[in-house]
Structure 1
Amino acid sequence: MIKNILFTMIFLCLQVISNAQLNFEIDTIATSQGKLVISFIGHGTLMMNFNNLVIHIDPVYRYADYSKLPKADIILITHHHGDHLDLKAIDTLKKENTKIICTELCYAQLKTGTIMKNGDIQKVYDINIEAVPAYNIVHKNNNGNPFHLKGQCNGYVITFGDKRIYIAGDTENIPEMKDLKNIDIAFLPMNLPYTMTPEMVADAVNMINPKVLYPYHYGNTNVKELIELLKDKKDCEIRIRKMN
């Protein structure tokens, strides 16, 4: 009897720990083809559920235990840096028919997947995916090279029904953002020295004009600065989630 009680207590404790690991913030977005559920895992890592499809974006074990998350139908990798490309996480999430979308430099490490270059468009399981530029202009390494070189990294515009979601990846407020049309939701990175300052994000928002902005990959950046900069932009809702 005592052994059974102890076993039950241990089991319940393990369940509590497991649930805590999966206790991500979640938003549900209505689309013309059903609900889009977004799980905010951390940093640049997201999970989306749409019409029984599971989409993982930049899955990294540092931010979640992927053995406890659903397998992927689609995995999107923005670029080759270790806080966005994690071979172990991808291997854990893969199943027989998982579609992996990545850059050339990611493919060189993965040895599998479909390469998308800036400007490419693919339809994957009836979801339209556009690869768009993501790079630095201002912020550079000590050797003078930008942290993210033009043409090497992707952002993605994903269409779910009537909603267009922009996942910017690691980028600054680059001129190509002016070409992004009808963006409903934008995920824009905001941390130094690798991506954008709050001022850069505000400029990007004014170029893109999303209906909803999620700052992500923001490290220790004070998100209140961004809110203050965009206080007069009434047509864009800023939603702060745990994505540092």
Structure 2
Amino acid sequence: MTTRRTFLATGAATLGAVTVLPFAARAAGEADRYPVDGGEIVVHPVSHASLVLETPAGTIYVDPVGEPSAYDDFPAPDLILITHEHGDHYAVDTLQALTEMRTQILANPAVYDMLPQELKAQAVKIANGGTTEMLGLPIEAVPAYNLTEGRLDFHPEGRDNGYVLTIGGRRVYISGDTEGTPEMRALEDIHIAFVSMNLPFTMDAEQAADAVAAFQPDYVYPYHYRGRDGGTQDPAEFARLLGEADAETEVRMGEWYPGGLEG
């Protein structure tokens, strides 16, 4: 059985100039912290595409799915971001369990239309290319879609979102499910990026590394890399390829699959 440890070991001796800090190498329970104006951003991988960001403006959940108990150790959400409707990104039962009276929700229009009325009352919809402000944070909706023939139906152009949030003067990009689109490659001044890669649904490690090398965030987390029918991608291979591209980006490895990649 392939494990996360196997993935992190693969290619570890040939990572080139890219710095890689595996999650397992940190002290137990230690989160990544990034200083920003007014405080810090604390990154908590949860599972696959789900993550929590603690920020000076409040706590942000991204695509929360699965058992609500997975979020017991985090502050309640001030803002929930939903990229699109697939079950590994949108789960209405999880949202209902996690959403409090103060929680705001930001979603693409397709998900907004699916929300039950009590959640829709706390939600705002934003389409590709739109901008808004929530918790006092500027937010941009970046188009997320497939480019490759045979994958186009998974994430058609115009439906799904990635997001760029400006937090304490730093820009954070969450890709959602996408390939290396022109919009991703044109991003500027990204401090932290979360970039998906799996087949057949998004892209392989090579395409992901090529796209990240184009916009060169300061830090990048490969995430959402469990695929189907052999399509799981190796984050260490992604780091190696990014190193070969001479990108000045530090790769961070999060604990996205605590139950194992087969789970």
What TM-score, normalized by structure 2, do the two folds share?
0.78
* Cα distance change of structure 1 residues 41 and 135 upon mapping to structure 2, 3 Å threshold: same
What one-letter code is carried by the residue in structure 1 that aligns with 2:110? Answer: L
Q: Which has the larger radius of gyration?
A: 1
Superposed CA offset, 1:62-82 (max 9, x none): 585345643211000000001
Q: Which has the higher contact order (CA 8 A, sep 6+)?
A: 2
Provide the residue aligned with 1:148 in structure 2: 155
| SS class of match (1:230) | helix
* Cα distance change of structure 1 residues 186 and 63 upon mapping to structure 2, 3 Å threshold: farther
Provide the residue aligned with 2:169 in structure 1: 162
CA distance in 2, matches of 1:64, 1:173: 33
Q: Which of 220, 231, 235 is matched with 1:213 structurally?
A: 220
What one-letter code is carried by the residue in structure 2 that aligns with 1:221? Answer: Q
Superposed CA offset, 1:119-154 (max 9, x none): 11111111111101000011635xxx4310111100
CA distance in 1, matches of 2:62, 2:207: 23
TM superposition shift of 1:234 = 5.0
Q: Which of 237, 256, 259 is matched with 1:225 structurally?
A: 237
Provide the residue aligned with 1:79 in structure 2: 84
CA distance in 2, matches of 1:24, 1:84: 24
CA distance in 2, matches of 1:228, 1:213: 13
| SS class of match (2:110) | helix
Say whether the 8 Å CA contact 1:66–1:92 is kept in structure 2: no
What one-letter code is carried by the residue in structure 1 that aligns with 2:131? Answer: I
What one-letter code is carried by the residue in structure 2 that aligns with 1:58? Answer: D
Q: Percent identity?
A: 38
What one-letter code is carried by the residue in structure 2 that aligns with 1:59? Answer: P
Does 1:97 pair with 2:108? Answer: no
Q: Which of 12, 20, 34 is matched with 1:29 structurally?
A: 34
Say whether the 8 Å CA contact 2:57–2:136 is kept in structure 1: no
Provide the residue aligned with 2:22 in structure 1: none
What TM-score, normalized by structure 1, do the two folds share?
0.84
Say whether the 8 Å CA contact 2:67–2:94 is kept in structure 1: no
* Cα distance change of structure 1 residues 103 and 36 upon mapping to structure 2, 3 Å threshold: same
* Cα distance change of structure 1 residues 34 and 68 upon mapping to structure 2, 3 Å threshold: closer
* Cα distance change of structure 1 residues 169 and 223 upon mapping to structure 2, 3 Å threshold: same
TM superposition shift of 1:118 = 0.8
Name stretches of at least 5 consecutive residues in structure 1 with no aligned partner: 1-22
| Aligned-residue RMSD, C-alpha | 1.9
Does 1:51 pair with 2:63? Answer: no
Provide the residue aligned with 2:253 in structure 1: 240
